[in-house]
Structure 1
Amino acid sequence: MSFRRLQGIRRFPALFMLCLLCGAAGAQAAASLPSVESFFAYPTLVNAQLSPDGRYVAMLVPAKDGYVRLGVMDVATRAPKVIASFDAADISQFHWVNSDRLVFDAGDRTIGLGEQTQAGGLYAINRDGTDFRQLVLRDLQQQSSSVRSVLPWHTFFYSTIRNSDDIYVGQVDPGGIGKVKPIHLLRLNTRTGRSAIVDRPGLTTRWLMDWQGEPRVATTLDGDMESVFYLDPEQKSWRKLIEFNTFTGHGFVPYFLGPDGSLYVSSRQGTDKTSLYRYDLVKNSVDPQPLVSLQGYDFSGAIVSNDKKFLGVRFETDAEDTKWFDPEMQAMQQAVNDLLPSTVNRITVAGHAQTPYVLVRSYSDVQPVAYFLYDGKEKKLTALGNSMPQINPQQMSGKDMVHYKARDGLEIPAYLTMPNGASKKNLPMVVLVHGGPYVRDGAWNWNREVQFLASRGYVVLEPEFRGSTGFGWKHFRAGWKQWGLAMQDDVADGARWAIAQGIADPKRICIAGASYGGYATLMGLIRDPDLYRCGFEWVGVTDINLMYNVSWSDISSEYLKYGMPVLVGDQQKDAAQLKATSPLENAARIKQPLLLAYGGSDKRVPIIHGSKFRDAVKATNPDVEWIEYPEEGHGWHLQKNNVDFWSRVEKFLGREIGRPASTSTSTSTSTSTSTSTSTSTSTSTSTSTSTSTSTSTSTSTSTSTSTSTSTSAD
């Protein structure tokens, strides 16, 4: 299956609810090039959820003052109502407790991650706006500043309980820096605020609920060993199902508990790719035959159900798809797809629906997320709204998955985005390296950074280099201890593939990325100086030994002790390799123009990575630009900083690799002011402009078969 850009992409109507609640943003004229601000504006529709009875839709929408509010709409009357808001804070996340009550937390998107001093708390309210109750408040001002970035709030919604005002919440002890913290599970009544803690089998890092919403499976971590426990409903005691090494072992990930008590897990079972299996709780073994296998991909997805049965499986290959086992749902999916033929259309069903409506979340590579209601009885689709109504899909650029061979023969998947309306030949290109690095980062969806780049005339290549997850054990395993080596070669081989295909101009290629992608950017400039004309990176690792040695990083001690020596390199055994693959140690070899950007409050990659490298590289390279956002953490949270950063990158790229003559000039109308500090010693006087790359702030360190709570360094 390949989701290529299709004909007939439509502009979805602005949300009528937004017009009533907050006023919808207007779309730009199709003739003008989208401004920087249009790509990095806050969404006007943040989230939408159908109530368990299917009679209401709850949404997060911004008010005229900019703060995000919680609204509820009756699907029958289409009557919207704001039920919760704060005077000087946003509502960040919400969940239906039951069809009459919701819970939500608070945040503030007007401050940087490094400035957050208070946890989000937890609140409850009826769908008509009555019976408001504050359930949890956590003020972290007295804690170490590192705690705020590791854990902005530490009591969070976990699961609803069927036919109850109670919910389960996870509570994490702030603890010390770099510690893996257990998730305590509490049963909390949303009307009284009373809670009771649930017994756990160890240092629990993950819980799985059964069909009724009760805890049945717990995953624990002890050093580098991960265990999965099952709470027998008859015996009322925990029993261990499996134990394996969290970084290198072949265990399984619990996914779902069915109405008959069946446990479904993701596992390899001796094969290269993970699949979805049923786990036999009587025999204590995984069934030999998988329920869902994906050719070329590890299984990653979710079970779709109502309160009566298992309806289907949602999964990701080159794009998201759903396999329905229920004929009625399959027919409904086809009907929706016929009405929205150019998008991925994710259908959400109510748990115990009393109406014929389902919620549709629709998106594509050129279309930001939009929400619809589909009436299964009348076969009609009603638009609720678009998260980014100012974005015109006709101006966006199509994304496709491609494959190329690395120099040792390993097949490398990658996403390729070609500029809309360009000649498709001999174009300037940005090779965008994802963070992690042990994650799958690319997806067939609308990505603001990639689309911004493409709108300025740049090809964007996003390699899923070895070590990336989601493409099998062999692909993942091939990346162990290959920072700056084979992982780096995979990226370079992708650039050379694009040159050989006639896509990229060999004299106009720039490498870029954040976090690990920032590391790869620097190593690319060092290892392949004739391939890359320039580089820009943000929040990038500049020395692996610094990851080990910096005491104020939020990288967990477990990952430093058990994960990094295996996946990245051992400080003692691999000392020579770590030095040879250190951008800091090799900074003098970088002669190309370079842009560096860091957050002053970053705890994942502390700013010392950037400042030490800046001082080292500027000693021999006069063309280095430095940007610092003091209030930001591992990536840019504030809109003004995103606009400032990408505007600077646009100028940098335009100066260094230019823009095709056929692409029109940017018409950005930014009036925001940056609070960053920036220094540059570049002597270039070119005035052409262009664009930049995507932010990756992943903290996942999960291996191919298990979900670990230890945090990655990048």
Structure 2
Amino acid sequence: MDDEELVPRTLLFSKPDRSGPELSFDGRYIAFFAPNEKGVQNVWVQTSFDTTEPTQLTFDNGQGILAYFWTYLPNVLVYCQDNDGDENFKLYLLDVSNKEKLEPRAIYSQPNVQATVLSASIRQPNKLIIGVNDENPEYHDIYEFDLTTSEKRRILSNSRFFIGGIIFDNDLNVRLAGEATEDGGIIYYRPSDTADSKNLTSAANDWMVYTTVAPEDYEITMPILFSADNTQIYWTWGPGSDLGRLAVHPFGQPTENRYLYEPQKVEIDLRSILIHPEQKKIFAVTEQVDKPEVKILNNEVEADFSYLRASKTDGIPLVTGTSEDFMTWLIEYVSDQYPLEYWLYDRRQKSLRFLFNKQPQLKGKSVAKMHGVIVTARDGCSIPSYLSIPLTATKLNQADSESFIPLQPQKLILLVHGGPRSRVEYGFSEFVVWLTNRNYAVMQCNYRGSTGYGKRHVNAGNGEWAGKMHQDLLDAVDWAVSKGIADPQQIAIMGGSYGGYATLVGLTFTPDKFSCGVDIVGPSNLMTFLGTIPPYWAGFRKRLITMIGADTDSDAGKEYLKNRSPLFFAHQVTKPLLILQGGNDPRVNKNESDQFVKALQDNKIPVTYVVYPNEGHDIQRTENLLSVTGFIEKFLAGCLHGRYEQYTAGMYDSSAIIAVDIA
């Protein structure tokens, strides 16, 4: 990349030309997200067998459409929206067969209620299972919704089971329901023999214990699907394994597991399991090591993956959808060098047809690579990480085993992922491309507590917020400094959600380590954070307590939480800080940022604080994302003196309110 070429923010952070494609189950249509003339994300559709111009299906001019999927009823899809990031999702269905008269029909659109789709089945294409927390905000009742008549019938009155733990078979019967235990585990129940399976309640006599998942196995033990005849159930099974195993057992006999696959390096990625829609068999799984690795479990698809790999050698093919007959696949090619590319694969003809690149305007631009590295923490824990070096940095001799190491130490951004129960993955990242283009090296760590690397790694984070989880980040910085990668005087810490919390911890607990920090929707006080999580997190709250290490129900617990809360150490901030917050955030309440800013002001410590009233936990609107990145870029340039594209408040007509400004 030329020294003078500054990739514009509008090129990186405007809504992608096309993204999130979904193949209809009959293989006739491909739907996708694309912006309208105002740059707002909507759903469009085109036929899969030709290149005719796509048709716009939704016409939102506000925040945009958040998610959609095809139902098993031909020509019908469902999409969801919330109100400016409040995560009270509303559901609508749309019949695309008459493109001249597109009329969305509400499945559930009551305000201040969250509706979510839980299951659908080829066998009952006109039915949809949805969860709605209209009766009790803490728990979702379960309804069967008829897509043709709009009739809604409650099949589970729920006051105890968390929404992600309710499992359905191929006939849309409730077969399992998970309840959180006091110690952060799960008890899965099955309907009792005397229960009415079409009118279940939460009463004890409607249920019998199926299996108990210990807290340490929580992250790697979960049901996946039922066999075609509903007699067998597939799981990822944690007991007796660090990484979990792919298992199947006769329903009702959880101790009779037959193990189909045991990963060797990392956990199975549950988002990338290839399942035959009709046979209900698992044909392949994916492990995310440094890069995604597809593991074939059925020889029937061996030739398909050989063809996909040979046809395009500069990316990793992943199957993101299939037709009902398994003959047409939607393929996503993953690379750190170009935005996601989507292709349509015909298994009969062994042919690939290009659909689109997510951001074609970035295709062909030289970008920094993601180098997988392992950092050894001070206690010996391995921290899988990714490092990206600016292309403008002069490299050491390419013969060096660590050839990405620059000749001179670089300005470094420690970019901390949220969750913390998530992980950094290989692939094209607009954020990393942007930061490296501005001459910053970027370090991303899968610190202990991150998912994907086994139960020892994830559980090692329990009770270590602002403890060993923070030490892992410090050790990663020290590693980068010791290798000559990072200039110890020019290191910033930045992240969102838990990453925002880590930023506040960094600037309060270890203020000498960083030159500045950017906190995006990070909690500052673990006590008030626990008191303001969404009501429908009731089933998750006990797990959250296990992760953090204490609750607010005792003086000892409050003292523990206080000692891990940056708010009570705000007086120790000595470096520049930028705080960005969504006004409607249901997960990390705006007060988390407000109170930290007030504590800084009380101590006469400068801060820049920007609020986006029409955003939630994630920044969705293009104008606001451009504003966020503009504020960050200007802030980092002021602290670390990286390259900088001009930005002034109001430049993108965003909703930004500068609550406190020191600039």
Shift of 1:506: 1.1
Match of residue 162, structure 1, among 114, 119, 122:
122
Sort the Cα spacing of 1:243 and 1:621 in 2 relative to 1 into closer, same or farther, 3 A: same
Q: Is the 8 A contact 2:316 2:333 kept in 1?
A: yes
Residues 379-427 of structure 1, C-alpha deviations (whole Å, 9 max, x = no match): 4322211222222353322113211111111111112222234222401
* Other-structure match for 1:272: 242
**SS where residue 57 of structure 1 aligns?**
strand
User: Is 2:629 the counterpart of 1:646?
Assistant: yes
Q: Is the 8 A contact 1:83 1:127 kept in 2?
A: no
Residues 481-521 of structure 1, C-alpha deviations (whole Å, 9 max, x = no match): 21211111111000000111111111111111122212211
* Other-structure match for 1:262: 232
Shift of 1:543: 1.4
Sort the Cα spacing of 1:394 and 1:339 in 2 relative to 1 into closer, same or farther, 3 A: farther
* Other-structure match for 2:389: 418
Match of residue 542, structure 1, among 507, 524, 527:
524
Q: Any unmatched runs of 5+ in structure 2?
A: 198-206, 395-405
Within 5 Å, give how 1:98-177 maps onto structure 2.
98=72, 100-107=74-81, 112-113=84-85, 120-129=90-99, 135-141=105-111, 143=112, 151=114, 154=115, 156-162=116-122, 164-174=124-134
Sort the Cα spacing of 1:546 and 1:390 in 2 relative to 1 into closer, same or farther, 3 A: same
Q: Is the 8 A contact 2:141 2:158 kept in 1?
A: no
Q: Is the 8 A contact 1:598 1:610 kept in 2?
A: yes
Within 5 Å, give how 1:623-702 maps onto structure 2.
623-659=606-642, 666=645, 671-678=651-658, 682=662
**SS where residue 360 of structure 2 aligns?**
coil
* Other-structure match for 2:277: 306
Larger relative contact order (CA 8 Å, sep ≥ 6): 1
Shift of 1:265: 0.8
User: Is 2:55 the counterpart of 1:82?
Assistant: yes
* Other-structure match for 2:140: 182
Sort the Cα spacing of 1:345 and 1:84 in 2 relative to 1 into closer, same or farther, 3 A: same
Shift of 1:67: 5.0
User: Is 2:68 the counterpart of 1:94?
Assistant: yes
Q: Is the 8 A contact 1:622 1:682 kept in 2?
A: no
Shift of 1:282: 5.7
| Distance of 2:411 and 2:545 partners within structure 1 | 36
Q: What one-letter code is carried by the residue in structure 2 that aligns with 1:62?
A: P
Q: Any unmatched runs of 5+ in structure 1?
A: 1-27, 684-714
**SS where residue 644 of structure 1 aligns?**
helix
Sort the Cα spacing of 1:385 and 1:412 in 2 relative to 1 into closer, same or farther, 3 A: same
Match of residue 430, structure 1, among 400, 413, 416:
413
Residues 299-344 of structure 1, C-alpha deviations (whole Å, 9 max, x = no match): 3323421313625233232233332333342212221222221222
Sort the Cα spacing of 1:235 and 1:96 in 2 relative to 1 into closer, same or farther, 3 A: same
* Other-structure match for 1:329: 301
Q: Is the 8 A contact 1:622 1:681 kept in 2?
A: no
Q: What one-letter code is carried by the residue in structure 2 that aligns with 1:500?
A: S
| Distance of 2:25 and 2:2 partners within structure 1 | 40
| Distance of 1:643 and 1:349 partners within structure 2 | 31
Sort the Cα spacing of 1:511 and 1:249 in 2 relative to 1 into closer, same or farther, 3 A: closer
**SS where residue 655 of structure 1 aligns?**
helix
User: Is 2:543 the counterpart of 1:596?
Assistant: no
Indicate the RMSD between aligned Cα atoms, in angstroms. 3.4
Shift of 1:184: 0.3
* Other-structure match for 2:399: none
Q: In terms of mean alpha carbon deviation, does 670-679 or 422-431 score higher?
A: 670-679
Q: What one-letter code is carried by the residue in structure 2 that aligns with 1:364?
A: S
Q: What one-letter code is carried by the residue in structure 1 that aligns with 2:11?
A: S
| Distance of 2:108 and 2:516 partners within structure 1 | 45
Q: What one-letter code is carried by the residue in structure 2 that aligns with 1:444?
A: Y
User: Is 2:46 the counterpart of 1:73?
Assistant: yes
**SS where residue 383 of structure 2 aligns?**
strand
Sort the Cα spacing of 1:36 and 1:91 in 2 relative to 1 into closer, same or farther, 3 A: closer
* Other-structure match for 2:464: 482
Within 5 Å, give how 1:378-397 maps onto structure 2.
378-397=349-368
Q: Is the 8 A contact 1:407 1:493 kept in 2?
A: yes
Sort the Cα spacing of 1:680 and 1:241 in 2 relative to 1 into closer, same or farther, 3 A: closer
User: Is 2:490 the counterpart of 1:521?
Assistant: no
| Distance of 1:159 and 1:562 partners within structure 2 | 24
* Other-structure match for 2:14: 41
Q: Is the 8 A contact 2:423 2:452 kept in 1?
A: no
Q: Is the 8 A contact 2:26 2:74 kept in 1?
A: no
Sort the Cα spacing of 1:294 and 1:74 in 2 relative to 1 into closer, same or farther, 3 A: same
Q: What one-letter code is carried by the residue in structure 1 that aligns with 2:143?
A: L
Q: Is the 8 A contact 1:36 1:668 kept in 2?
A: no
Shift of 1:231: 6.3
Q: What one-letter code is carried by the residue in structure 2 that aligns with 1:284?
A: P
Sort the Cα spacing of 1:667 and 1:32 in 2 relative to 1 into closer, same or farther, 3 A: farther
Q: In terms of mean alpha carbon deviation, does 310-319 or 73-82 score higher?
A: 73-82
| Distance of 2:318 and 2:89 partners within structure 1 | 32
Match of residue 436, structure 2, among 454, 460, 463:
454
* Other-structure match for 1:58: 31
Q: In terms of mean alpha carbon deviation, does 387-396 or 484-493 score higher?
A: 387-396
Sort the Cα spacing of 1:63 and 1:574 in 2 relative to 1 into closer, same or farther, 3 A: closer
* Other-structure match for 1:564: 545
| Distance of 2:508 and 2:639 partners within structure 1 | 18
Residues 225-267 of structure 1, C-alpha deviations (whole Å, 9 max, x = no match): 6332456999986653213456876983101212253211112
Match of residue 187, structure 2, among 227, 239, 256:
227
Q: What one-letter code is carried by the residue in structure 2 that aligns with 1:675?
A: S
* Other-structure match for 2:222: 253
Q: Is the 8 A contact 1:45 1:61 kept in 2?
A: yes
Q: Is the 8 A contact 2:92 2:108 kept in 1?
A: no
| Distance of 1:632 and 1:349 partners within structure 2 | 30
| Distance of 1:629 and 1:589 partners within structure 2 | 27
Sort the Cα spacing of 1:457 and 1:172 in 2 relative to 1 into closer, same or farther, 3 A: same
Shift of 1:31: 7.5
Q: What one-letter code is carried by the residue in structure 1 that aligns with 2:292?
A: E
User: Is 2:320 the counterpart of 1:341?
Assistant: no
* Other-structure match for 1:290: 259
Sort the Cα spacing of 1:284 and 1:275 in 2 relative to 1 into closer, same or farther, 3 A: closer
| Distance of 1:39 and 1:643 partners within structure 2 | 9
TM-score computed with the length of structure 1 as normaliser: 0.79
| Distance of 2:521 and 2:130 partners within structure 1 | 30
**SS where residue 637 of structure 1 aligns?**
coil
Match of residue 331, structure 2, among 360, 373, 389:
360
Q: Is the 8 A contact 2:190 2:208 kept in 1?
A: yes
Sort the Cα spacing of 1:371 and 1:526 in 2 relative to 1 into closer, same or farther, 3 A: same
| Distance of 1:681 and 1:352 partners within structure 2 | 55
